[in-house]
């Protein structure tokens, strides 16, 4: 090991309200099924803002989305992720004095995240107004071993007294979502989505069941307590909430521990969520909390071995990158009933919706580390194809599927269609993810089962939305990745992704045909060989904008005709631009929110020469604000490709530290999961030059001057490969699996055990 996984911690906690809300996000607990924000158990004083939430991935209700004009096909309702319960609240009372960091005095305070143990913690030495001193240590875990389970282990040590200790532990079933009418990234309204249906106490545990107001879903949460010494425990139900009163005595220097178990269950996955919650509680209580912690450690040990990525010589960046990889496994869904939201399960930003972020920024990480998770994510898209097919019909298409720009259960949730539904490139992104999974695994059975249907149906959509003009195939009135430029003709990224989609539809048809697997797929969707020929012709004739004078790919047909935005003289407090300028004003300028054509030059690099890519990068760098968290990681990758390691390093640093340093000033609403996947890509696809193509796996390693070395481990087909890079050489090791042919700096090598290759300078 070069470096041990760091424990991220902060001491002497700030009481600033905004800092507290950021820490609610940064120290949240999640496991892909449930997520719990890291609110203080004892709460904040009246008047403080907080987002106190617990979430279930894929669980939603329907909210109204009023349109100014009732036009055909405009979305009039949306799904929104719900805050389902509050089991965090615990009040500690010491001889009549209630613990609060805002009263008495904190002699010391610390918060931490242990990414090897899979827990977060708070430790406080507190002196009450009357002078009683206690040491409080609180550990939290959302279990990877038992996805339904969230635990709080609350320990109190009496330092200078003995006396009565009371815990008041709450289980609230009537909760609401956070809202902010001034921020388009969170909901404007906080409606009452959950209707209480059942509350009971059984074997000392409280169970609260609620039903959503419109979607017809149910959720149940169960809470049980264990105390380390004999105590009086009394639980009561009141107005769809439960309060548990625990009383005992503590001696000086004695430590008393309360362990609070919460389980969640929902009707998307279970027929009877109350019965399932009881079963899950029984399972949780069968083993000790120590055994649950051990199972957490074992899960993460395997995870870190699969996604080894370490940097020597840059401790801050190492800490940030490790934090980001940990958040990805916390956030990603572990079944086909859900996906990964833009904010994971850490907060309510973007209302828990799934975007193209999954396919273009997160699946590349899991393809190389945990490909079974990628299968689940693609499986979710396959499960929602009927909704995508209906969405295509609403948009006027006779064939194919159009996946929604933002969604939870498969229907469109984007109210502002110019920078939402018009983003047709999401079809190409999802197709790209299927192709990338296949190239990394060669899992043709999965392609036959689910992947090919996605590829063929998205290809059909391109044939319907596009048309031939002067011998070339063109795609009009769409929006590319850059949301400051909407509703354009021939967005380069969209067209080249459609071309890639269409070409691979032809390739998969031939691969499945050779494997005698194509008939089943073709019969299922009525696919003909005539369509395959049409796909091939459209791909061959695809129009890709190119400007002869600048020798770049214009972002679209009209981009270069617009006035260039004066970024240098734009006030710093006017960023992000979308919060300070009308969309139409932005659309009339050459200004990019994020990587668009530059992203295409990374993803579809073989479509253009290196000179064109270099010219385009230089051009778009001058007009891009990076107001989106999806941007700087992509500029880092392309800078690496062009041999600009120091510039690539600067872009990576800005990207990697986004949440830990709250650089976009909105971490309180949740983490930026896509950016976190992008950090991994910026190192592995950027500095190491990794590419997986039809004819094999490629590397072109480079290293920033400030690093001594870096290393990572990836899965490729049936093998695991470790790569170590320093200033002089790159070392490739076959950790396990069959020998592999690899290409390094364009040269072929056979990797049987270990090879060392001098770096290019």
Residue 498 has pLDDT above 50, yes or no: yes
Residue 316 has pLDDT above 70, yes or no: yes
Instruction: Give the pLDDT band of residue 503 (cuts 50, 70, 90).
Output: very high
Residues 175 and 268 in one domain: yes
Residue 605 has pLDDT above 50, yes or no: yes
pLDDT of residue 1: 39
The per-residue b/e assignment along 135-158, b for 16 or more CB within 10 angstroms, e otherwise, is: bbbbbbbbbbbbbbbbbbbbbbbb
Residues 614 and 527 in one domain: no
Phi, psi of 4 (to 5 degrees): -75, 150
Residues 386 and 509 in one domain: yes
Q: Decide which of 2 and 719 is more confident.
A: 719
CA-based radius of gyration for the chain: 27
pLDDT of residue 189: 60
Residue 181 has pLDDT above 90, yes or no: no
In a domain, 248, yes or no: yes
Residues 592 and 628 in one domain: yes
Residue 669 near residue 682, CB atoms below 8 Å: no
pLDDT of residue 719: 97
Tokens of 301: 């040990």
Residues 162 and 94 in one domain: yes
Mean pLDDT across the stretch 114-141? 97
| pLDDT (tens digit per residue) in 541-593 | 999 999 999 999 999 999 999 999 999 999 999 999 999 999 999 999 999 99
The Cα–Cα gap between 759 and 744 comes to 9
pLDDT of residue 194: 96
Residue 6 has pLDDT above 70, yes or no: no
Instruction: Give the pLDDT band of residue 662 (cuts 50, 70, 90).
Output: confident
Residue 4 has pLDDT above 70, yes or no: no
Percentage, residues of the chain above pLDDT 90: 93
User: In what side-by-side order are the strands of the sheet with 90-94?
Assistant: 97-98, 90-94, 163-172, 241-250, 232-238
Domain holding 604, by residue range, is 546-658
Residues 79 and 149 in one domain: yes
| pLDDT (tens digit per residue) in 674-717 | 999 999 999 999 999 999 999 999 999 999 999 999 999 999 99
Instruction: Give the pLDDT band of residue 182 (cuts 50, 70, 90).
Output: low
Strands (E), 538-597: 563-564, 589-590
Residues 615 and 749 in one domain: no
In a domain, 319, yes or no: no
Mean pLDDT across the stretch 344-368? 97
**429: domain CATH number?**
1.50.10.10
Residue 474 near residue 402, CB atoms below 8 Å: no
Residue 45 has pLDDT above 80, yes or no: yes
Residue 398 has pLDDT above 80, yes or no: yes
Q: Decide which of 664 and 245 is more confident.
A: 245
pLDDT of residue 192: 81
**125: domain CATH number?**
2.70.98.40
pLDDT of residue 188: 58
Active site residue 483: yes
Residue 150 has pLDDT above 60, yes or no: yes
Residue 171 has pLDDT above 70, yes or no: yes
User: Annotated catalytic residue: which of 153, 351, 457, 483?
Assistant: 483
| pLDDT (tens digit per residue) in 407-417 | 999 999 999 99
Residues 390 and 523 in one domain: yes
Number of domains the chain is built from: 4
Residues 217 and 80 in one domain: yes
Identify any residues that bridge with 86 across adjacent strands, giving them in sequence order: 172
| pLDDT (tens digit per residue) in 293-304 | 999 999 999 999
The whole-chain average pLDDT of the chain stands at: 95
Residue 2 has pLDDT above 50, yes or no: no
pLDDT of residue 5: 63
In a domain, 450, yes or no: yes
| pLDDT (tens digit per residue) in 125-134 | 999 999 999 9
- What pTM was estimated for this model as a whole? 0.96
pLDDT of residue 429: 98
Q: Are strands 218-227 and 255-266 parallel, antiparallel or unpaired?
A: antiparallel
In a domain, 118, yes or no: yes
Residue 761 has pLDDT above 80, yes or no: no
């Amino acid at each position: 090991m070069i470096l041990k996984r760091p424990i991220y911690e902060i001491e002497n906690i700030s009481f600033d309200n905004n800092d507290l809300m950021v820490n609610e996000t940064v120290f949240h607990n999640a496991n892909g099924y449930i997520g719990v924000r890291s609110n203080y158990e004892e709460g904040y004083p009246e008047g403080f803002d907080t987002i106190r939430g617990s979430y279930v991935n894929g669980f939603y209700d329907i909210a109204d989305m009023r349109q100014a004009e009732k036009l055909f096909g405009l979305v009039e309702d949306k799904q929104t992720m719900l805050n389902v319960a509050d089991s965090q609240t615990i009040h500690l009372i010491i001889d009549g004095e209630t613990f609060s960091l805002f009263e008495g005095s904190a002699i010391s305070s610390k918060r931490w995240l242990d990414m090897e143990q899979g827990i977060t913690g708070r430790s406080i030495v507190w002196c009450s107004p009357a002078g009683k001193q206690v040491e409080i240590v609180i550990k939290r875990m959302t279990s990877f071993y038992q996805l339904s389970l969230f635990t709080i282990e609350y320990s109190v040590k009496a330092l200078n007294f003995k006396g009565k200790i009371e815990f008041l532990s709450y289980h609230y079933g009537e909760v609401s979502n956070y809202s902010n009418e001034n921020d388009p990234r969170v909901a404007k309204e906080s409606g009452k989505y959950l209707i209480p249906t059942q509350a009971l106490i059984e074997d000392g545990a409280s169970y609260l069941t609620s039903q959503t107001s419109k979607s017809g879903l149910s959720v149940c949460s169960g809470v049980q307590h264990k105390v380390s010494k004999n105590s009086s425990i009394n639980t009561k139900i009141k107005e769809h909430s439960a309060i548990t009163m625990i009383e005992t005595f503590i001696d000086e220097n004695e430590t008393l521990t309360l362990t609070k178990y919460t389980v969640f269950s929902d009707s998307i996955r279970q027929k009877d969520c109350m019965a399932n919650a009881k079963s899950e509680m029984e399972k949780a209580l069968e083993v000790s909390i120590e055994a649950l912690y051990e199972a957490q450690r074992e899960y993460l040990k395997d995870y870190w071995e699969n996604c080894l990525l370490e940097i020597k010589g840059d401790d801050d960046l190492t800490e940030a990158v490790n934090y980001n990889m940990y958040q990805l496994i916390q956030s990603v869904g572990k079944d086909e009933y859900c996906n990964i939201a833009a904010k994971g399960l850490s907060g309510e930003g973007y209302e828990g919706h799934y975007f193209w972020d999954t396919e273009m920024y997160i699946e590349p990480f899991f393809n190389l580390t945990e490909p079974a998770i990628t299968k689940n994510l693609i499986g979710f898209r396959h499960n929602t194809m009927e909704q995508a097919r209906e969405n295509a019909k609403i948009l006027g298409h006779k064939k194919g599927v159009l996946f929604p720009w933002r969604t939870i259960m498969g229907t469109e949730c984007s109210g502002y269609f110019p920078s939402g539904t018009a983003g047709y490139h999401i079809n190409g992104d999802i197709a790209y993810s299927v192709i990338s999974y296949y190239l990394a695994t060669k899992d043709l059975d999965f392609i036959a089962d689910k992947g090919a249907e996605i590829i063929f149906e998205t290809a059909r959509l391109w044939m319907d939305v596009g048309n031939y003009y002067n011998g070339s195939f063109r795609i009009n009135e769409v929006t590319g990745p850059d949301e400051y430029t909407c509703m354009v003709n021939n967005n380069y990224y969209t067209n080249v992704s459609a071309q890639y989609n269409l070409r691979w539809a032809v390739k998969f048809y031939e691969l499945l045909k050779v494997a005698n697997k194509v008939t089943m797929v073709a019969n299922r969707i009525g696919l003909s060989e005539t369509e395959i020929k049409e796909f091939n012709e459209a791909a061959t004739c695809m129009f890709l904008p190119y400007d002869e004078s600048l020798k770049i790919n214009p972002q679209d047909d009209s981009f270069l005709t617009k006035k260039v935005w004066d970024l240098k003289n734009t006030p710093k407090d006017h960023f992000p631009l979308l919060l300070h300028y009308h969309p139409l004003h932005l659309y009339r300028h050459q200004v990019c929110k994020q990587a668009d054509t530059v992203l295409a030059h990374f993803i579809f690099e073989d479509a253009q020469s290196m000179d064109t890519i270099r010219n385009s990068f230089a051009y778009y760098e001058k007009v891009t604000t990076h107001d989106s968290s999806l941007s700087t990681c992509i500029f880092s990758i392309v800078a690496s490709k062009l041999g600009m390691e120091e510039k690539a390093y600067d872009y990576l640093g800005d990207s990697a530290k986004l949440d830990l340093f709250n650089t976009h000033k909105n971490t309180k609403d949740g983490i930026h999961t896509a950016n976190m996947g992008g950090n991994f890509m910026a190192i592995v696809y950027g500095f190491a030059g990794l590419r997986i193509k039809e004819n094999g796996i490629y590397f072109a390693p480079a290293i920033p001057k400030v690093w001594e070395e870096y290393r990572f481990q990836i899965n490729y087909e049936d093998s695991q490969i470790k790569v170590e890079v320093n200033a002089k050489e790159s070392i490739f090791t076959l950790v396990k699996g069959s020998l592999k042919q690899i290409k390094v700096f364009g040269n072929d090598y056979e990797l049987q055990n270990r090879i060392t290759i001098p770096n290019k300078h």
